[in-house]
Every structure is written in C-alpha cells, then in structure tokens.
Amino acid sequence: MELTGKRILLIISGGIAAYKSLDLIRRLRERGASVRPIMTAAAQEFVTPLAVGALSASHVYTDLFSREDEQDVGHIRLARECDLVLIAPASADLLAKMAHGLANDLASAVLLATDRPVLVAPAMNPKMWSAAATKRNAEILRGDGVGFIGPMSGEMAESGEAGLGRMAEPLDIAAEVVHLLGGSERPLAGRTAIVTSGPTHEPIDPVRYIANRSSGRQGHAIAAALAKLGAEVTLISGPVTIADPAGVQTIHVERADEMHDAVVSRLPADIAIMVAAVADWRVVTSADQKIKKQPGEAPPPLMLAENPDILKTVGHHAQRPKIVVGFAAETQDIERNGQAKLVRKGADLIVANDVSPETGVMGGTRNRVKIIAHDSISDWPDLSKDEVAERLAALVAEKLEGEHR
C-alpha cells in the first residue's frame, strides 16, 4: 500500500467540512497510513471525538493542558512523531494563528512546534477566503513552505453561496498525501540492495598501486537512484574522488579482496548491482616497504594473481539476491561478450557498454549501454550516467514487482 508505515497527524479545525474528515481518515487508513487526530474546540461542535476516534482507531487529542494527554505524549512529541501534519479542514482562524505563530491551543501549539511537512486543506465561506487578511496569511504560510490543497469552488454546504471555499475532496487530499510522501514512487521500499562502484587499488608497495580509470560516477548514481525508489542501499566503493551519495550507507575499500569480503558480509539482499571496475589481478609480491630503485639492477618483477570475481561469487551464492546485475566494459563484440558473461557470472542482467577510448565513457559523465537479459537485448540511447541509473533502478523495481519479499 502506498502509505504503509506512514504516520499522519490530522488536525481537524472548525467548519461544516469537518464531516468530510471522517471519510478522509478512512481513505488514509485504506492506503496503509496510521492517523492520529487532533481536534480544535470548534471542530468538536461539528463532529464528535467519539466518531473521529472510532474511525482512526486512535486516541483523539483535544487539550493543550490535558493532564492525561500531556503525560501520555505531550504536544512536542505529537508534533514530531509523524511523517506529515495534515490540516483538514483548515479554518480561517487556524490559518491566521499559524501565520502569526500563536500557540494558545493544542492544534496551534503543535503547528508551531513541528518540524514536519505541513499540508493544509482550507475550507471556509468564500468571502472569508477572499478577505485581505486570509490572503495575506495564506501568502505567509506558502512562504514558510506550507503546502495547500484547495479550496475548491462550488456551493457552500451551509449558505448555498458559490465561490472558492469548499474543502478539497478526501480522495484528492489522500492522493496529495501519497504524492508528498512519495508512496507511489517508492516501489523499492523494504528492499535491500548492494552496489559496488569505482576502481580497486592493488598495492605494489605502500606507495604504488595498479588501478584503472573508473570514476565511480555510474555506480554511485545507481546507488542513489535505488535509494530514491525506497531501497535500503549499501554502496561498497573503491577509491574515488566523488562524494558519498545521500541516503546510502557507503563502505570504503581499497582492494578487490576487501570489496569481495564487504559484499559477501552484506548478504542476504534483494538486489546486487556490481558496477565496480574490479582489478582482475593483484600483485602477489606486494612489498611492505617502498621498493627502491637499485642502480645497475634490473627492474623488480611483478608477480600477479587473479582476484576473486565478486559478481560471479554473488551470482552463484547460496544467498543469491533475487536480482543480480553486472556490468560489462567491452571494446569489441559487445553483445556476444555480454551474453557469455551473463551465463558465466550467474547474472540476470548485464549492462554492456563500449569503453573504447573514443567513447569517453570511462571517467566521463555520459553512457550508452545495451541491456542484455537471458531472453532479450535492448539498446538504450546516449544518456547521462544519472539517467542510466534511474532507468536501471526502475527496471529492477519492475522485475521485482510481484516477487515475494
């Protein structure tokens, strides 16, 4: 459900539209949200706390100085323990208090204390909505970052007057809440993902290493894109000069064997996307001290050994993630090599790209890739690495849809 786990603090203020908040509570709960209601004194003249409490399956908060309520949660906790504060209906009086920072009842005190997003659904007589004072207050609130839905035009319930002032419909308010909390755009909520990115450095001695030109841009962008869709992402990054992406747990490693161990330690996971340009070989003869140039002597030989193949390990692991994606940096025969790699590595998808020097992909900001699956190959146009990341994250979400969690 779009609002699963989301906590809405619903403030009901005075007005005939308060009866619609009963339906609104149902709509929000149907979508998985929990609803904690606060009612102003005026609201209780229109609907009863009993009805609101029954529909929300929650205690209804009404008093700033209620001994029981204050001991129970208190207005500061009420203000913070939610993902969104929704005021529906929002009266002219409550908008005025909010705009000026008054805090003489529970609803206004909570609004002054909250650091959460606030959405208001005004409802009032059209003359009150178009009054200069209300216009000023709404302007102030918009400037403070408060979101508005409505009022709508139509006939007023009580006076039959027409004009702007009707509260938005509960279904539309619920849709706006979903939009604000990103429910519908978080198809990977509850999923875990491991992403590798960047090059690895294989030491020759304490100051020298073997590396490649990978910047980490593509892998970091993929980690960020998965997180944006709601996944809990661990990014295992080799040495790069770009920043850790926001909303992602980043583990920094140097060598391929460290990257391998870090990846395996994060299993099980739902998704693995191995983007790192892992060095194929490490130096077996890596020295503890800086190797000295000896006059008259031949250069030291470098003995290489194969590094663990991280993608292959994950693709064949007993705790194999549901979706395993690898990258194939090729300079020739991209499709055939990509398909062979898909099988060899036990992956579901290979993102194959041409990294010939003339493409500028390695270290650059753009990418042109082919998506190789077991039963299809699709060509994506020339895109920025961020766009490739967003498309890939969406593709992974699509493939996971309907899979058991």
Contact yes or no for 199/238 (Cβ under 8 A): yes
- The letter for the amino acid at 101 is G
Tokens in use for 227?
């997180």
Q: Which of residues 241-260 bind ligand C5P (CB under 6 A)?
A: 256
What is the Cα 254 distance to its own chain's centre?
28
Minimum CB separation from ligand C5P for residue 267, in Å?
14
- Contact flag: residue 334 with ligand C5P (CB under 6 A): no
Catalytic site residue from 212, 307, 353, 367:
212
Closer by beta carbon to ligand C5P, 18 or else 328:
328
CB of 326 to ligand C5P, least distance (A): 3
- Scan residues 257-296 and list those touching ligand C5P (CB under 6 A): 274-276, 278
Nearest approach in angstroms of CB 281 to ligand C5P is 9
Render 115-157 in DSSP notation, one character per residue.
Answer: -S-EEEEE---HHHHHSHHHHHHHHHHHHTT-EE--PEEEE-T
Residue whose pair of structure tokens reads 């008259």 in the numeric block: 296
| Smallest separation (angstroms) from ligand C5P to the CB of 12 | 53
Nearer to ligand C5P, 88 or 349 (CB): 349
d(CA 313, CA 226): 22
Q: How many whole angstroms separate alpha carbon 376 and alpha carbon 100?
A: 60
Buried b (16+ CB within 10 A) or exposed e, 98-114: bbeeebebbbbbbbebb
- Nearer to ligand C5P (CB atom), residue 182 or residue 346: 346
CA distance linking residue 188 with residue 46, whole number of Å: 41
C-beta nearest to ligand C5P: residue: 310
**What is the pattern of x (binds ligand C5P, CB under 6 A) and - over residues 176-215?**
--------------------x-------------------
CB of 193 to ligand C5P, least distance (A): 14
User: Does residue 307 carry a catalytic annotation?
Assistant: no
Q: Which is nearer to ligand C5P, 43 or 248 (CB)?
A: 248
CA distance readout (Å), 210 to 69, 250, 280, 283, 305: 64, 23, 10, 8, 13
Using an 8 Å Cβ cutoff, are 259 and 310 in contact?
A: yes
Residue 11 in tokens: 């403030």
Residues in region 289-328 near ligand C5P by CB under 6 A: 307, 309-311, 326-328
What does the binding site for ligand C5P look like in residue numbers (CB under 6 A)?
A: 196, 256, 274-276, 278, 307, 309-311, 326-328, 341
List residues with catalytic annotation.
Answer: 212
